[in-house]
Amino acid sequence: MFVTDSFASLGPVGPVARAAGDLAQAGAAARVESSAPASGQRGTSAARGPAHTGSAIQLQGIELRYPGTDVPALRHIDLDIPAGEVFGIIGRSGAGKSSLVRTINLLNRPSAGRVWVGGTDLTTLDARGLRAARQEIGMVFQHFNLLSSRTVFDNVALPLELAGMKRADIRARVLPLLELVGLAPLADRYPSQISGGQKQRVGIARALASQPKVLLSDEATSALDPETTRSILALLARINRELGLTIVLITHQMQVIKQIADRVAVLDAGQVVEQGAVVDVFTRPQHAVTRSLIEEILPQSLPDSVYAHAARARAALPAGQVGQLLRLSVAGDAAGQPLLSRLIREYGVDLSVLHGQVDDIQGHTVGALTVFLSGPAQAVHGALAALQTVGLHAQLLDLPGDVAQAPATADLRETVSLQG
């Protein structure tokens, strides 16, 4: 017995059929070597991705239009997700994240474009070929989708039962999975007897039961508290590392991207507005949506007290001295160097740190320091020029009254190109 699309439309029938419906949604039919259906004729001869070597998933020119709607939910989506990576897709509510993740396993059929998973163009497959292809794609949900009448063990075993696997083989597959997700001692509990984090561990083990090559995680940690979120993300990172599974994470939380994604695509109004390595996107966000998402974990705006402090410091400077409020991005190689102490030593400037947020992203130090740089005009001028040559991303910040500043300050503005 195999999970079929038609299960999803059976309505309120028996628990196994309902479970099959869930799993059809998840594309979680198990692969059983002896009885797995061969791909349909069109499936086996499906088009290969243009650059499928090394890619787990490729989306090309995807457009998705829901029936009866004027505006497409997804437009011009091109994504190439390398095998073995954790790839994050982030966006605000309504951006199209769920629409996109459901397009990857073709639960949503795109109105235009192609979807390659493991080098096979899913859009060319017939129903049988698509069912076989979905065996390679596991899915984890925000609300776990467990069957309350089944124990932890039996929830994980369900896709294997549906695939007709023998009981002994099921045990041999499920027990190591329960060990992997840390639930072996709770195998006989029911969902009502375990915590939300433990339920998600069951969901992950169930998604892995069919030995997929790709795991789609649709807001898997959104219903969990921060501590449990961290532990579930750590589990996903371990699964990615140890099983070499490609993971696509859909989330609205930058914290999730920051903790485990290698690369990220930012979705807004159905389009990818920015994508790249997580550390690059965090240090050089290009799009307003990306900046506002990052703002939540690395606030970019400064409290008024910082400007007030700098204004007082500038007013107190002796004649002939100038002062400038500066925001210095801390990232990459520059982060590890003693740049600030060198500036003070070599240029004889004063430097007060007024504000800072520095974090670790995938082993890279990332953040920003806001400093008040002051001293004789010549020295400040030289220090600002030196900041540029070491590649530090420096942004001059205006203080109240800056427009009417003395020529010395105007000169400084020409020294450092305004960035940010």
Ligand X SMILES: Nc1ncnc2c1ncn2[C@@H]1O[C@H](COP(=O)(O)OP(=O)(O)OP(=O)(O)O)[C@@H](O)[C@H]1O
Q: Which is nearer to ligand X, 239 or 289 (CB)?
A: 289
Query: Hey, which residues between 233 and 252 contact ligand X (CB under 6 A)?
Result: 252
| Closer residue to ligand X in complex, CB, 65/309 | 65
Q: Quick one: which of 96, 203, 323, 367 contacts ligand X (CB under 6 A)?
A: 96
DSSP string, 144-173: ----TTS-HHHHHHHHHHHTT--HHHHHHH
Closer to ligand X by CB, 94 or 299: give it. Answer: 94
Q: How many CA atoms lie within 13 A of 140 on its CB side?
A: 32
Would you count residue 52 as binding ligand X (CB under 6 A)? no
Q: Site for ligand X (CB under 6 A): which residue of 34, 53, 93, 389?
A: 93
Question: How far is residue 286 from each of residues 283, 289, 370, measured CA to CA in Å?
Answer: 10, 9, 21
At how many degrees (to 10) do helices 152-162 and 196-209 cross?
20
Query: Nearest distance from residue 217's CB to ligand X, in Å?
Result: 13
Taking CA 100 as the corner, what is the angle to CA 98 and CA 101, rounded to the nearest 5 degrees?
Answer: 65
The DSSP H or E segment spanning 204 is helix 196-209
Contact 27, 139 (CB under 8 A): yes
**Closest Cα to residue 328, out of 241, 416, 259?**
416
* Interface with ligand X in residues 130-159 (CB under 6 A): none
Q: Which of 21, 27, 43, 91 binds ligand X (CB under 6 A)?
A: 91
Residue 99 engages ligand X in binding (rule: CB under 6 A): yes
Helix locations, 81-126, DSSP H: 97-104
Asked if 256 interacts with ligand X (CB under 6 A), we say no
Least spacing, CB of residue 94 vs ligand X, in Å: 4
From the list 131, 112, 127, 239, the residue with the least C-alpha distance to 182 is 239
User: In the complex with ligand X, which residue's Cβ is closer, 74 or 361?
Assistant: 74
Q: Which stretch binds ligand X (CB under 6 A): 25-33, 92-100, 348-356, 392-400?
A: 92-100
Q: 345-384: which residues touch ligand X (CB under 6 A)? A: none
Region from 97-105, 163-171, 209-217, 257-265 binding ligand X, contact rule CB under 6 A: 97-105
Binder of ligand X out of 28, 29, 95, 158 (CB under 6 A): 95
- Which of 97, 150, 201, 393 forms a contact with ligand X (CB under 6 A)? 97
Q: What is the closest distance, in whole angstroms, from the C-beta atom of residue 300 to ligand X in the complex?
A: 23
58 to 77: interface string for ligand X, x by CB under 6 A: --------x--x---x----
Q: What is the CA angle 58-60-61, rounded to 5?
A: 160
Does residue 98 touch ligand X according to CB under 6 A? yes
What is the CA 49 to chain-centroid distance, rounded? 24
9 binds ligand X (CB under 6 A): no
How far apart CA 217 and CA 252 sit, in angstroms, is 12
Question: What number of other Cβ atoms are within 10 A of residue 367's Cβ?
Answer: 18
Residue 161 or 268 having the CB closest to ligand X: 268
- How many residues bind to ligand X according to rule CB under 6 A? 12
Give the whole-angstrom CA distance, residue 278 versus residue 280: 5
Write out the residues near ligand X by the rule CB under 6 A. 66, 69, 73, 91, 93-99, 252
